[in-house]
A and B are shown apart, each in its own frame.
Chain A
């Protein structure tokens, strides 16, 4: 055994001995699930999913289906129809959306969907799409507030996020809410730091390594040796560090170009699977719709299926967590509601389009029924393999790239949380980034289940302070969005081409 693997093994032991009980305790609390044994044995309702879905429902009704009304105008906005030509050179709606999407599209779209369908059957897809549609509204609300209460620093930098609308927004609404806002903002930042090193980093690094290992031949391949995870993590950490600490933009730029390309390729691969099985599409669609309401035995009845679909959609599109509000805030606009419009497209692309594609590919090829391996990336990979045998390799590359871009995005969210908590300084900046890189190595080399569970749960804690804030500020958002829509409908706001 090399010294590296001894180190890796002893690290895992340390985690097992001291940290695991704490991690497990937190994971258990965050994902506290009400057992619904009266429906079917083993069916559980995780409260955090209820929390996220209720927010989506509430805002959809409160804003009278804003996400559907917003759609057409959102497309016009990202096409630049309303951009002032004098703002050329600033952050466009398209760029803000693309940055946010590259942070959310990732493993949830590939592995999460496979898990949902394996556990909930084809019918889970329908509920996943419904949850995606609800999430669109939550995102619109978050991002409207993100822009409204963002900070413009004296040196010209622009940034925002839940910590600012929680403090500024609540204080503005009622000075007595100032303290509550401050507490919520601090909680949000603490959870964001946890989410950034956890779900935004360790989980990604871990899954990226698993994929790299599995396509290179598993335990017998070149990445099968004991310290392979640590070595892979080190390389990944260097690549992350080169961009976030070294400021080597060229790597970020290559990734920025590759990620959308991979996303398009991924959708094309799914479409290839669909076209190869053209005649089975009606049957698959029927399975998705009918089994959403009357699932086959073993999927926990309608409630069991619904929970699986909702849960994976919520985990994939991050609506309600507040992360998107940070990503969208730098856009150049005088109207916060414009970014609210654009942000509804994010869960649409992530969940309604990409997750549904994955789901169709899995349902049509029937790979979800294979119980010989754990549900996850493998299930999707197997679905792709039925059509073109080298697709799994492309999928592995996609997973690694998605993981990398998600890590870059979360390093930024974490940085914003760190500077909110500890102040803007070079020391805070560098310390955070170094810690972040360290966790890449830990995440890739760790094999402990509790670490992965913990990292996933921290992300969802962010939704607690964030959604409380969204409810308190619901009226502000309504005023902002309705005011903008009225001016749009009365012709006060017109496209650039019609301005005089």
Chain B
């Protein structure tokens, strides 16, 4: 039996609605809610020596910012009712791949994400997290507009 629902958060309005939808479902099915914020990062990007020197510091700063600005507000809002089991996770990596990894670790029933509001050109060039998730995910993906 799956135990959790994964929600991918990026601070956008639609990802907030995704969290609400997932919270409703979690209550109905008695599942745990795992809120994930992925800081986009690639092990193969090119960096300068000065950036490399500060990378550990930057990673900590990015993770703290993701926690404060993206995860904590949603956790505060959803935990007001006091009837949900919740966990917040910050990771660095490819957003879709990382969400799939977390879904595997937490035995997820499905993954919920918001539909990203990026431009068509951007989507054409780089793809979007929901569309890559659909390609990669071992569990159903729910995209909230």
Residue of B nearest to A244 (CB): B50
Q: Bound complex: CA of A90 vs CA of B57, how far in Å?
A: 9
- B46 pairs with A90, CB closer than 8 A: no
Asked if A139 is an interface residue, CB under 8 A from chain B, the answer is no
Can you list, as one digit per residue, whether each of B49-74 has a CB less than 8 Å from chain A (1) or not (0)? 11111111101101100000000000
- B46 pairs with A327, CB closer than 8 A: no
Interface size on B, residues (CB 8 A): 26
Asked if A176 is an interface residue, CB under 8 A from chain B, the answer is no
Residues of A with C-beta under 8 A to B101 = 85
B42 to chain A, nearest CB (A): 9
Q: Bound complex: CA of A89 vs CA of B120, how far in Å?
A: 28
Can you list, as one digit per residue, whether each of B75-101 has a CB less than 8 Å from chain A (1) or not (0)? 000000000000000011100001001
- A83 pairs with B49, CB closer than 8 A: no
- A88 pairs with B91, CB closer than 8 A: yes
- A155 pairs with B49, CB closer than 8 A: no
Asked if A277 is an interface residue, CB under 8 A from chain B, the answer is no
| Residue from A85, A89, A252 whose CB has the most chain B CB atoms within 10 Å | A89
How many residue pairs between the two chains, A and B, have CB atoms under 8 Å in the bound complex?
87
Q: A260 touches which one: B43, B46, B62 (CB < 8 A)?
A: B46
Chain A interface size band reads 35 or more
Residue of A nearest to B98 (CB): A88
Can you list, as one digit per residue, whether each of A38-69 has a CB less than 8 Å from chain B (1) or not (0)? 00000000000000000000000000000000
Q: Bound complex: CA of A83 vs CA of B43, how far in Å?
A: 10
Asked if B135 is an interface residue, CB under 8 A from chain A, the answer is no
Asked if B39 is an interface residue, CB under 8 A from chain A, the answer is yes
* A157-B93 contact in complex given A98-B46, A99-B47, A257-B46, C-beta closer than 8 Å: no
Q: A409 touches which one: B46, B49, B53, B54 (CB < 8 A)?
A: B49
Residues of B with C-beta under 8 A to A418 = none
* A103-B39 contact in complex given A88-B92, A155-B57, C-beta closer than 8 Å: no
Residue of A nearest to B41 (CB): A89
Asked if B44 is an interface residue, CB under 8 A from chain A, the answer is yes
B3 to chain A, nearest CB (A): 21
Q: Bound complex: CA of A409 vs CA of B45, how far in Å?
A: 17
Residues of B with C-beta under 8 A to A249 = 51
Residue of A nearest to B50 (CB): A412
Q: Bound complex: CA of A253 vs CA of B53, how far in Å?
A: 16
Q: Bound complex: CA of A70 vs CA of B46, how far in Å?
A: 24
Q: Bound complex: CA of A102 vs CA of B49, how far in Å?
A: 10
- B43 pairs with A102, CB closer than 8 A: no
- B47 pairs with A95, CB closer than 8 A: yes
Residues of A with C-beta under 8 A to B45 = 95, 256
* A412-B60 contact in complex given A90-B55, A91-B55, A94-B44, C-beta closer than 8 Å: no
- A156 pairs with B56, CB closer than 8 A: yes
Q: A89 touches which one: B46, B51, B53, B59 (CB < 8 A)?
A: B59
Contact residues of A between 229 and 261, Cβ < 8 Å to B: 243-244, 249, 252-253, 256-257, 259-260
Please provide the 3 A-B residue pairs with the shortest distance between their CB atoms, ordered closest to farther.
Answer: A89-B92, A256-B46, A330-B52
